Chains A and B, each alone.
Chain A
Amino acid sequence: MDTVISSASAHETELERAVMNPLRHTTRWFWMAIGVLAALVVLLLVVLIRQWVLGLGVTGLGRPVYWGIYITNFVFFIGISHAGTLITAILRVTNAEWRRPITRVAEAITFFALILGAAQILLDLGRLDRVLNVVIFGRFQSPLLWDVTCITIYLLSSTLYLYLPMIPDLARLRDRMAPAAAQVGGATRSRLRNWRYHLYRIMSVGWHGSAEQHRRLERAISIMAVLIIPIAVSVHTVVSWIFGMMMQPMWHSTILGPYFVVGAIFSGIAMLFLFMTLIRKAWGLERWIGAKQYDYLGLLLLVMSVFWAYFTLSEYLTTGYGTLVHERHVLQAKLSGEYAPWFYAMLFLNFVVPFAVLIRRKGRTPAGTVIASAAIAVGMWIERFTIIAPTLTRPSLGYEKAVYTPSFTEIAITFGSLALFAMLFLLFFKLFPAISIWEVEEGEHIAAVKRKAEELMAQPGPAIVATSVAGGPAGVPAGVPAQPLRNME
């Protein structure tokens, strides 16, 4: 189903054409992908309803393992949400030009990851029907309230931070997709079919690209960029504190806050790689999401991998060197007990694979980073799981060692949630451009001006020679670039 495009006045750049192509045409492959994902989402809904009716007994949870897969998923999704903040906020604040083609994908990941993360907590509640009690009776002494507050603030800020930079692009789509009736004048074409035009029109809130509007927008985005960094740091810190504040062995660790933030940025970049490569391939955006993005972001991912490994070493070495009995039991569960395969897989996937791939420049390519990122995505999920389960299976009282076997319901909900995440992401980019067109154009403009300035600075002597002073051939029109001095002599 193609949208009516006003072809008369449109002169599209290659960037515009490439970015708007998926908004205009939908391939068979897209619907097949959506079909597969939708099937998983339907499975998710079915098991979810069953869990709602029968109670959380359909999971593999049991005393003392009161938290399991759902909380793992929660921490995982909230962790991924740090993709957007790192790329768009920190790289914007540090003026890293190479961020421009990937900001939109990053911000979209953050938005949907937060929604899915919040959903995981909601479906873990024994009494979801009473969730408003958290608002009515919420008390700030509880780390869960810190979570609710920070995640809500982060969700609202991320929505704004996704929306604001989209406004100029939405205006452009509005202009490009104006219905033919408006051009012809007086034709009675049904406007209902052009719901997309109306969507863009409303969402672009009267943007017409004036200098004043640009100034205001840049200001708003800059403020958001600076504000959202501490908000994002606070989010994953308080998520870590729902474990860190409790006196359970290997949870009550002072390092947990920074550890989780590093892990979040780490897994966020990995997810960004996976989805940006997917979009790049599927939407044909190879020209703009290019070698530079993969090289620099790959270096960042490598740095985060080393950072993560450093924190992990610190945590485990400190615990292992000490003789605290309860902590040693949990450590043994991870090093030599039933959680050992998970633990060593985590080390391999989070450090060995990324380091081996990304340390070489040849590894920082779409193929290499996808391998590293897929490993990290799995590895970081395992990391969250091995933080939660081993501790709960070895309570301090020490009279039992519990076993936690996740049930089909929990596995179905995990994969269903991932499918929902991917599906929402794909549908989003069927409606909105995957690359921030105006930001890339702005970047190209800045680059061109810089190049020009460098060119002119490289010339010896007074660089700018007006044609009349140089005494060039008569009749040379104004605006012709000045001849280099040597040609004058």
Chain B
Amino acid sequence: MPRWGMVIDLDKCFACQSCTAACRMENNTPPAGPDQTGDGRAILWNEVLAFVEGDYPKTQVLLVPRPCQQCDNPPCTYVCPVKATYKNEDGIVVVDYDRCIGCRMCAVACPYQVRYFNWHVPEWPPALRAHLNPDPEVAPRPKGVVEKCTFCIQRLRHAQEKAAAEGRPFDATDYQPACVQTCTGHARYFGDLDDPNSLVYDLSHSPRAFRLLEEMGTEPKVYYLKQG
């Protein structure tokens, strides 16, 4: 089984946030509006975080796109009381939206805050509503459940089905999440971390490679290449 992982090159990323926008369009996350966003209600499965240190003119800014880290040792899955969230056989941490009781313990447990909660019944302005992704896997979630980045698992399923329909073996390069596909700076890479011939294998072993909060032992599968 491929161990799906992502590498994000922080030298190439210039924080255009196309990845965030593409993720929203692919996965039907509802827009929160400026007021609700100020209250921390925005649902952005992929978010670009700004780490700012120092004062102008000596500010140091690090802009980091942050999807779900898809940890191999995910603290969020241990605490779910009903096993609504678990690491599936593809190594992707998924949420069963029909089972989730909305206790938000997983959201509190995640050290990266990649989990989002539906505080209201989700709504879309008419322009966005007309362009919702019709895929049933990403049907809009109801109020009161937790959701998060799934490495666009619906694309994985489609790629596997397509390969089967075409009678050829499924190849890891057949599938990539929307953020990786859209990245304007070609800063995001995706593939099988265990395949010694894959690009992500090489990059994840690069001396520039690091992971967020590595000391916590969560074993995230999203690697970053150091800036500068």
A interface residue numbers (CB < 8 A to B): 54-57, 60-67, 124-128, 130-131, 133-134, 136-139, 141-145, 148, 242, 245-248, 392, 395-399, 402
Residues of A within 8 A of B111 (CB): 247-248, 395-397
How far is the CB of B40 from the nearest CB of chain A, in Å? 3
Contact with A along B48-66 (1 / 0, CB 8 A): 0111000000000000100
Residues of B within 8 A of A392 (CB): 108
Give the residues from 91 to 115 in chain B that come closer than 8 angstroms, CB to CB, to chain A. 99-105, 107-109, 111-113
Considering the complex of A and B, which 9 residue pairs feature the smallest CB-CB distances, nearest first? A126-B102, A62-B40, A126-B144, A57-B119, A144-B81, A57-B120, A66-B104, A137-B82, A142-B81
Whether the pair B121, A246 counts as a contact (CB closer than 8 A) is no
Docked complex Cα distance between A440 and B104 (Å): 48
Whether the pair B117, A56 counts as a contact (CB closer than 8 A) is yes
Q: What are 24 A-B pairs at a CB distance below 8 A?
A: A61-B40, A62-B40, A63-B113, A64-B107, A125-B101, A125-B102, A125-B103, A126-B144, A127-B100, A128-B101, A133-B82, A139-B81, A141-B79, A142-B79, A142-B80, A142-B105, A144-B81, A144-B103, A145-B81, A148-B81, A247-B109, A396-B213, A397-B213, A402-B40
Docked complex Cα distance between A142 and B85 (Å): 12
Residues of B within 8 A of A143 (CB): 79, 105
Contact of A126 among B79, B103, B113 (CB under 8 A): B103
Whether the pair A134, B143 counts as a contact (CB closer than 8 A) is no
Interface membership of B41, Cβ < 8 A: yes
Interface membership of B226, Cβ < 8 A: no
Answer whether A137 and B99 are a contact pair too, CB < 8 Å, given A63-B117, A397-B213.
yes
Residues of A within 8 A of B100 (CB): 126-127, 130
Whether the pair B109, A141 counts as a contact (CB closer than 8 A) is no
Whether the pair B83, A137 counts as a contact (CB closer than 8 A) is yes
Whether the pair B113, A397 counts as a contact (CB closer than 8 A) is yes
Whether the pair B143, A139 counts as a contact (CB closer than 8 A) is no
Interface membership of B187, Cβ < 8 A: no
Whether the pair B144, A247 counts as a contact (CB closer than 8 A) is no
Interface membership of B118, Cβ < 8 A: yes
Main secondary structure of the interface of B (DSSP, over half): loop
Interface membership of B78, Cβ < 8 A: yes
Greatest chain B CB density within 10 A among A56, A143, A148, A242 is at A56
Residues of B within 8 A of A144 (CB): 79, 81, 103, 105
Give the residues from 202 to 228 in chain B that come closer than 8 angstroms, CB to CB, to chain A. 212-213, 216
Whether the pair B41, A126 counts as a contact (CB closer than 8 A) is no
Greatest chain A CB density within 10 A among B39, B145, B146 is at B39
Q: Using A66-B107, A139-B82 as known contacts, list a sample of 11 further A-B pairs with CB atoms less than 8 Å apart, ordered by residue number in A.
A: A55-B121, A56-B102, A124-B103, A126-B143, A133-B84, A141-B79, A142-B80, A248-B108, A397-B49, A397-B112, A399-B64
How far is the CB of A43 from the nearest CB of chain B, in Å? 22
Whether the pair A142, B78 counts as a contact (CB closer than 8 A) is yes
How far is the CB of B145 from the nearest CB of chain A, in Å? 6
Docked complex Cα distance between A397 and B117 (Å): 19
Whether the pair B216, A55 counts as a contact (CB closer than 8 A) is no
Whether the pair B82, A247 counts as a contact (CB closer than 8 A) is no
How far is the CB of B71 from the nearest CB of chain A, in Å? 11
Residues of A within 8 A of B42 (CB): 63
How far is the CB of B109 from the nearest CB of chain A, in Å? 5
Whether the pair B40, A65 counts as a contact (CB closer than 8 A) is yes
Contact of B119 among A56, A133, A134, A247 (CB under 8 A): A56
Docked complex Cα distance between A130 and B101 (Å): 6
Chain A residue with Cβ nearest B113: A64
Docked complex Cα distance between A55 and B121 (Å): 7
Residues of A within 8 A of B140 (CB): none
Interface membership of B75, Cβ < 8 A: yes
Contact of A397 among B39, B75, B103, B212 (CB under 8 A): B212
Whether the pair A67, B40 counts as a contact (CB closer than 8 A) is no
Answer whether A396 and B40 are a contact pair too, CB < 8 Å, given A63-B107, A64-B113, A133-B101.
no
Contact with A along B35-47 (1 / 0, CB 8 A): 0100111100000
Interface membership of B151, Cβ < 8 A: no
Chain A residue with Cβ nearest B122: A55
Docked complex Cα distance between A62 and B40 (Å): 4
Residues of B within 8 A of A66 (CB): 104, 107-108, 117
Interface membership of B116, Cβ < 8 A: yes
Docked complex Cα distance between A145 and B109 (Å): 15
Residues of A within 8 A of B81 (CB): 134, 138-139, 142, 144-145, 148
Contact of B101 among A67, A126, A248, A395 (CB under 8 A): A126
Residues of B within 8 A of A55 (CB): 118-121, 143-144
Whether the pair A399, B145 counts as a contact (CB closer than 8 A) is no
